[in-house]
Amino acid sequence: MNIEFITKEDLRRIENLLGEIKGLIKPGQGQSKQWLKSYEVRKLLNISPGTLQNLRVNGTLRYTKVGGMVYYKLEDIQKLLEDGQQ
């Protein structure tokens, strides 16, 4: 059996890496968009257009239609993901 230890230096490297990642991501970047289009939701959930339509039809995912475009609230997508993990 091999036992590996994490040193303080390893933790400092991880902390530095996290700091660099945070610097690359603009504050609030993930939350800047409140509404997503269908193609964005499909890409985010990695689902087909038919599956997205089924989520709409059976009421699993709320949506708003403006003209010919269908929009989804980001918070509803996040809630769907959280509920799916439980």
Q: How many folded domains does the chain comprise? A: 1
Q: What is the CA radius of gyration of the chain?
A: 19
Q: Which domain holds residue 64?
A: 30-85
Q: Is there a contact between 41 and 77 (Cβ–Cβ < 8 Å)?
A: yes
pTM above threshold 0.75? no
pLDDT digits (tens, 9 = 90+) for 18-69: 877 777 665 555 555 788 999 989 988 889 999 999 999 999 999 999 999 9
**DSSP secondary-structure letter at 26?**
P
CATH number of 75's domain:
1.10.10
In angstroms, the CA 45 to CA 76 distance is: 12
In-domain check, residue 16: no
